[in-house]
Structure 1
Amino acid sequence: MLDIIIVNYNSTDHLIHCLRSVKKSLNGSDAGIFIQDNASTDGVNRILSEFPQVSLTVNPDNLGFAKAVNKALEQGTGDYVVLLNPDTYITNGFFESGMVFMHKHPDVGVIGPKILDNDGRLQNSARGFPNPLTAFFGRSSFLSRMFPNNPFTRRNLLSLRSDGKTPMEVDWVSGACMMVRRKAVETVGLLDERFFMYWEDADWCRRMWQSGWKVIYFPVTSVYHYVGGSSEKKLFRPVIEFHKSGYRLFAKYLDSSLSFLKPLAFTGLAVRLGCVLLSKIARYGVNLFKKHFSLKKFKTDSYEKERAEPIKDSIPLEIKLL
């Protein structure tokens, strides 16, 4: 039996497309589908008309990702659990091939498929555990985009080492789509709810390794992920939560003898946060200006067109006949 858990926050349009792909990929197989909605305002109840079989829980407040997932984990009983973001699209064969692989490899606690952007580009969802250099050579950092094959980025983005078809051990895989063995969850425990959003997947995978469970990148199947289907609706909070959770992960696993590094890490993340926020504000301002300029140009063109049309219509009949 398979359980599928999706946490939704104002991404119901994406969620509907996701559920359609889930239904197609299941191809009639049984699965418990648990939707945890974190107080969305975009009409999440409309999914029930098309998917009456899903279990929908509408939370009165935004509980965060980890806490919402934990609520669903306690509802289900399946031997395997799939965590999905609502802005993902499942390709055919993912559920079946994933469960077959995990059945054949009982020491595997988590697998993560190859995740692609909606335009087909690799999303680098298999990664190494973060270190101080991750801030500069992470998945979306400037240096990684400019020099994708540098050794620091390749150490962090482990999916770059994959041949695209062979399962391989990695430190952690993205929670945007992962299949987890319930027996491993019972050993390791639920997600750490102190992570409101981001980095809870890295923490879970670290605990899996610490408890003797392997984490595998499984590029045999692919999943498409429209990045930020929920978080892009907010300008600042996702960025702030990302850095807060990053510091929480660093502090959680820092050896007590190195506790003096905490202020340094906090300061570094604060500076990085400030830079990212300023960049977002600048991009937002540019986009706002472009929209305003485009709207103004549209109004001007429309006005000129309206002025020209009456003149044409008002030409005296005798002149038209000449």
Structure 2
Amino acid sequence: MTTPEGPSQIRVICVTYNPGSELDDLARSLVAATALPIDLVLVDNGSAGQYPETVAARHGGRVLRAGENLGYGRAANLGAMGGDEPWLLVVNPDIVWKPGALDVLLAAAERHPRAGALGPALLNPDGSVYPSARELPSLTQGVGHALFARLWPHNPWTRSYQARQESATSTERYAGWLSGACLLLRREAFEQVGGFDATYFMFFEDVDLGERLGAAGWQNLYVPAAEAVHVGGTSWRDKPARMISAHHASARHYLHHRYDRWFEWPVRVAITIGLGLRERIELRAAR
């Protein structure tokens, strides 16, 4: 929206799919998160009913009905199109901002002009910090963590990968990638790399984006002084099987793409077999 303070500087893009009251909580928290005018865009992936329109009308936003479930990254790309705001905020419906937190992110962006993506500290409802700023995993860490994290939580590859994240959770720092649940993007950087890769339906599109931003010379900056609470998983709680399958499909897609050289075919075979086994075990447990 354009407010009396002037044209919007930030386009807030929220992808929705049958959201509940948490969407209204997000919109309310944005009012106190920044002093700048924003353009709130809800990209709806096929919700039943008119609740997104109700929230948009209440908070001066607008709804883009995708007409089908496009997936997260493709829908976010749609929400970013056709604007000239210098900043894009891609945010899940189940995020609640702390007062002033978005302005803290913007101030960090001014200090770091090569920061293409910035992420706040994401707090769990109990106040603990979710590790939302991570490094790109090495071959052994990436494959070991992907295959065994759920089945063998304390495996050495996952322990090594997570230790790198937990060592600096309270320090402003650069990361390999930032959680797409709450991500401030410099439009220039986002458009330079072509936005999210639409071949990811859900999950891993943020890992892929962080990697491509880094390859293009931009930085992914974690700013723990900015805080937001992430309720987590509200669109999927009643349908965990779909979430499990989507997560494994995206993990397979990302790792196959990352290790795509001809001599890495044994890695791809191991990934396919291992993720397939893990998916079957998790689906059985979710019944």
**Do these two structures clear the TM 0.5 threshold for a shared fold by scoring above it?**
yes
Q: Aligned residue for 1:97?
A: 104
Q: Is 1:3 paired with 2:8?
A: no
User: Deviation digits for residues 286-313 of structure 1, max 9, x if unmatched?
Assistant: xxxxxxxxxxxxxxxxxxxxxxxxxxxx
1:230 to 235, 257, 260: 235
Name stretches of at least 5 consecutive residues in structure 2 with no aligned partner. Answer: 1-8
Q: Does 1:34 align with 2:41?
A: yes
1:79 corresponds, among 79, 86, 96, to: 86
Task: Tell me the CA shift for residue 85 of structure 1.
Answer: 0.2
Distance 2:165 2:72 in 1: 24
Q: Is the 8 A contact 1:137 1:153 kept in 2?
A: no
How far apart are 1:229 and its partner, in Å?
1.0
Residues 161 and 88 (structure 1), Cα distance of their counterparts in 2 relative to 1, 3 Å cut: same
Give, in whole Å, the separation in 2 of the partners of 1:142 and 1:223.
30
Cα distance in 2 for partners of 1:95, 1:268 equals: 40
Matched, 1:133 2:144: yes
**Distance across 2 between alignment mates of 1:196 and 1:96:** 30
What is the aligned partner in structure 1 of residue 6 from structure 2? Answer: none
- 3-state SS of paired residue (2:121): strand
2 CA distance for matches of 1:154 and 1:16?
39
Secondary structure, aligned partner of 2:191:
helix
Once the 2 structures are TM-superposed, how far is the Cα of residue 80 of structure 1 from its aligned partner? Answer: 1.4
The one-character-per-residue Cα deviations of 1:208-229 (angstroms, maximum 9, x if unpaired) are: 1111111121111111001101
Query: Does the 8 Å contact 1:112/1:218 carry over to 2?
Result: yes
| 2-structure distance, mates of 1:273, 1:188 | 31
In structure 1, distance between residues paired with 2:282 and 2:227: 30
Residue in 2 that maps onto 1:278: 284
The reply to whether residue 16 of structure 1 matches residue 24 of structure 2 is: yes
In structure 2, the residue matched to 1:217 is 222
In the alignment, what sits opposite 1:155? 161
| Distance across 1 between alignment mates of 2:177 and 2:55 | 32
**Is 1:249 equivalent to 2:254 in the alignment?**
yes
CA offsets, 1:264-286, max 9 Å, x none?
210100001011111212xxxxx
Whole-Å Cα distance in 2 between the matches of residues 23 and 132 of structure 1?
Answer: 42
* Structure 1 residue 122 corresponds to structure 2 residue 93: no
Q: CA contact under 8 A between 1:134 and 1:156: conserved in structure 2?
A: no
Q: 2:201 aligns with which of 175, 196, 202?
A: 196
Aligned to 2:4: none
SS of residue paired to 2:128? coil
Aligned residues of 2:147 and 2:278 also touching (Cα < 8 A): no
- Percent identical among aligned pairs is 25
Quote the Cα distance in structure 2 between the aligned partners of 1:88 and 1:155.
26
Deviation, structure 1 residue 137: 6.5
Aligned to 2:117: 110
Unaligned runs of 5+ in 1: 282-322
Distance 1:157 1:170, change over 3 A: farther
Aligned-residue offset at 1:261? 2.4
Partners of 1:222 and 1:31 lie apart in 2 by 19
Q: Is the 8 A contact 2:42 2:52 kept in 1?
A: no
Question: Is 1:44 equivalent to 2:55 in the alignment?
Answer: no
> Which AA in structure 1 matches 2:52?
V
Name the aligned partner's letter for residue 218 of structure 1.
Answer: V
State the aligned residue count.
273
Deviations 1:126-179 (A, max 9, x none): 1232411213665xx4654x69xx774352464411151x21111111000011
Q: Distance in 1 between matches of 2:227 and 2:55?
A: 25
Question: 2: CA distance between counterparts of 1:157 and 1:4?
Answer: 32
Instruction: Describe the shift of the 1:162–1:137 C-alpha distance in structure 2 as closer, same or farther (beyond 3 A).
Output: farther
- Alpha-carbon distance in structure 1 between the residues aligned to 2:151 and 2:99: 34
Q: Distance in 2 between matches of 1:162 and 1:137?
A: 24
1:233 counterpart SS class:
coil
Q: Which residue of 1 aligns with 2:213?
A: 208
For residues 219 and 283 of structure 2, the distance between their equivalents in structure 1, rounded to whole angstroms, comes to 36
Give the greater-gyration-radius structure (CA).
1
Change (3 A) 1:126 1:137: farther
TM-score with structure 1 setting the length? 0.80
Partner of 1:306: none
For the aligned residue pairs, the C-alpha RMSD in angstroms reads 1.9
Mapped partners of 2:198, 2:279: distance in 1: 22
Q: Contact conserved, 1:154 with 1:161, CA < 8 A, in 2?
A: no
